[in-house]
Amino acid sequence: MGIIRSTFKILFYIKKNAVKSNGKAPVMARITLNGEIAQFSLKCEINPADWNPKAGKAIGKSAASQQLNGLLDDFRASITQNYRDISDREASVTAEKVRNAFLGLQTRNDSLLDLFRHHNENLEAQIGKGVSRDTYMKYLRTSTRLEEFMKYKYNISDINLKEIDHSFLYDFDVYLKTIHSCGQNTTAKFMQRLKSVILIAKSNGWIHADPYSNYKLHFEKSDREYLTEPELEAIMKKKFPIIRLEQVRDIFIFSCFSGLAYPEAQFPIP
């Protein structure tokens, strides 16, 4: 990814059949990528007699010709940069995507990590108001794992929401289990958090197909071990050289006897 393909071409031409009353024709751009074509007006014009169709630029050294050719060079550089950016960010790039990016027609939150960032910012703003810091950190960790996964598997930094399919989910599942040695339930939790963000996109109409329609979340039933009374007593009597560790131990013991979940029992330790 990130390397310009040999099929990527930019052509500047004039629309001869649309000459205006002032005798000038609009200058157009055509992007060709893997056989797909996207063309659009550059909002500038020139007298057809001053245009070199083979070179795709104005003829002569007049100020007007030089100014137009300078603009065309800038346009070419900008279109090429948009192509590179999309190639680095998404799994596939099309001529239409490049054109829309150049014209500023991109949709907000059309990429997975952009949507995740927006979602996580909203969670962070609600910490202590119905959302725990632990929940926020889990979603933050999920977005980090996704970013690492896309770089590792596809060599991209982000992906368009519409390109997420069953294969993407399966690959992420395998990545979590193999590269990060996650168990089935930990993997399912990551996939569950990803699903909740994907559902936001679907609810807003940013995607129409549900990539999770053929992907089933699977949790394994696990028998959790518990501490015996002698083990609890041993922890209670344990002496720690650091006061902070004793305070953490006290919170844990309080959770054991009260039934309060350990994350919910945490409080700032001076």
At 5 the pLDDT is: 47
Long-range CB contacts for residues 138-142, cutoff 8 Å, separation at least 24: 138/189, 138/193, 139/193, 139/197, 142/116, 142/190, 142/193, 142/194
At 105 the pLDDT is: 75
At 270 the pLDDT is: 46
At 185 the pLDDT is: 94
Strands 51-52 and 36-46: unpaired
At 136 the pLDDT is: 95
At 264 the pLDDT is: 52
What the chain holds in terms of domains, given with CATH numbers, is 9-103 (no CATH), 112-214 (1.10.150), 229-265 (no CATH)
Low-confidence ranges of the chain (pLDDT < 50): 1-5, 265, 269-270
At 111 the pLDDT is: 87
Q: Are 158 and 1 in contact (CB under 8 A)?
A: no
Reported as a single tens digit per residue, the pLDDT across 157-193 is: 888 898 899 999 999 999 999 999 999 999 999 999 9
At 262 the pLDDT is: 52
Reported as a single tens digit per residue, the pLDDT across 207-244 is: 888 999 989 998 888 766 778 888 888 989 888 888 88
At 58 the pLDDT is: 95
- SS3 for the chain is CCCCCCCCEEEEEECHHHCCCCCCEEEEEEEEECCEEEEEEEEEEECHHHEECCCCEECCCCHHHHHHHHHHHHHHHHHHHHHHHHHHHCCCCCHHHHHHHHHCCCCCCCEHHHHHHHHHHHHHHCECCCECHHHHHHHHHHHHHHHHHHHHHCCCCCCEHHHCCHHHHHHHHHHHHHCCCCCHHHHHHHHHHHHHHHHHHHHCCCCCCCHHHHCCCCCCCCCCCCCCHHHHHHHHHCCCCCHHHHHHHHHHHHHHHHCCCHHHHCCCCC
